């Protein structure tokens, strides 16, 4: 599943990079919890929670069966 998650993250990366940020995959658990780290401008943005849930998590759930949630690590 990790490889599929990485491919799905590549779909959202251009939008994040356009705003000076990025997303880094940290871990994928057996029960479908994906841990990511928002970097660059996204790491300190007050809207990062919205980006994570409405953007990254939505795309991952659509693209990768088995993803249950996405959490941010620092």
Position 6 pLDDT exceeds 90: yes
Distance CA 27, CA 41 (A): 21
Q: Quick one: pLDDT at residue 69? A: 96
Which tokens hold the place of 13?
């990366």
Entry pTM: 0.92
**What is the number of H-type helices and E-type strands within the chain?**
4, 3
Q: Quick one: pLDDT at residue 43? A: 85
Cα 57-45-27 angle, rounded to 5 deg: 40
Q: Quick one: pLDDT at residue 57? A: 95
- Per the structure, how many domains does the chain have? 1
CATH of the domain at 43: 3.30.300.130
Alpha helices by DSSP H, listed for 1-74, are 2-18, 41-44, 48-50, 58-63
Residues 18-64: tens digit of each pLDDT:
999 999 999 999 999 999 999 999 888 888 888 888 899 999 999 99
Task: Give me the domain span that covers residue 58.
Answer: 2-72
């Amino acid at each position: 599943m990790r490889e599929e998650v990485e491919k799905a993250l590549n779909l959202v990366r251009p939008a994040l990079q356009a705003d000076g940020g990025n997303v880094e995959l940290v871990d994928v658990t057996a029960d479908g919890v994906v841990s990511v780290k928002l970097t660059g401008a996204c790491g300190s943005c007050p809207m990062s929670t919205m980006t994570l849930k409405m953007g990254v998590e939505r795309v991952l759930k659509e693209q990768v069966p088995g993803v249950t949630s996405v959490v941010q690590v620092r």
